[in-house]
Amino acid sequence: MSTANILVVGIGGQGVMTAAEALARAAIGAGLQATKTEVTGMSQRGGVVCSQVRIGERIESSDVQPGSAQLLIAFEAAEGLRWCHFLAPEGKALLDQWRAVPPVVSSGDHAYPENPAAEMRALGAKVLELDARGVAGRIGDVRLANSVMLGAAADSLPFPAERLREEVLLRFGKDARLAESNARAFDAGRALAH
């Protein structure tokens, strides 16, 4: 098995680092090696967050180089565009369509990309757009969007999807209601990706 390079990107408060942790722990639970690193801006205030995860039989470096990621999981549309140069030619992006318009756009200092997915495709990226936040809202809480996105990614990983699902649900311990909601979100994400 070759090394799988994955980027999980979004803004502060979306659970980017939690999702990357679940990916790494699931890989380790499946008998593989995994590393992760984070790039954060003012993440507590809605700033940029990127977690890089590498999974394989033997991992010697934790950094994902531009042009080498097989999978980009973007929790916010413009962040997917910002990080798409990390995708390998055969890589693909899972892009939540949700847009978090920052204050610099509201103030008129900068423009939000008109169509991030189309711009990514124009750059040669393979993009699957998902309404993860909308699906999460219909389940009962927009914060479940990260579980929707992990479910969408589950069948693109080098270990069984069920292993990632178990890892996502482990986070909730004895809170049966939260575990059930996240299970529904994960399963809905898997269905969206098909």
Whole-number Cα distances in Å, 139 to 12, 18, 21, 113: 22, 20, 23, 29
Q: Cα–Cα distance between 13 and 11 in angstroms, integer?
A: 6
Q: Is 154 in contact with 27 (CB distance < 8 Å)? A: no
* DSSP β-ladder status, 126-130 and 87-96: parallel
Neighbours of 47 (CB within 10 A): 13
Residue in the block written with tokens 């890589």: 91
Task: Give the chain's domains with CATH numbers.
Answer: 4-100+112-193 (3.40.920.10)
Whole-number Cα distances in Å, 53 to 121, 137, 158: 23, 27, 12
User: Which structure tokens are listed for 16?
Assistant: 């980017």
- Helix/strand/coil for 50: strand
pLDDT at 68: 97
In tens digits, the chain (194 residues) has pLDDT values of 588 999 999 988 888 999 999 999 999 999 999 999 987 665 456 678 899 999 999 998 889 999 999 999 999 999 999 999 999 999 999 999 998 877 666 677 778 899 999 999 999 999 999 999 999 999 999 999 999 999 999 999 999 999 999 999 998 778 889 999 999 999 999 999 98
CA nearest to 96, candidates 176, 16, 179: 16
How confident is the model over 103-142, as pLDDT tens digits?
666 677 778 899 999 999 999 999 999 999 999 999 999 9
DSSP label at 174? T
* 54 sits in which H/E element: strand 48-56
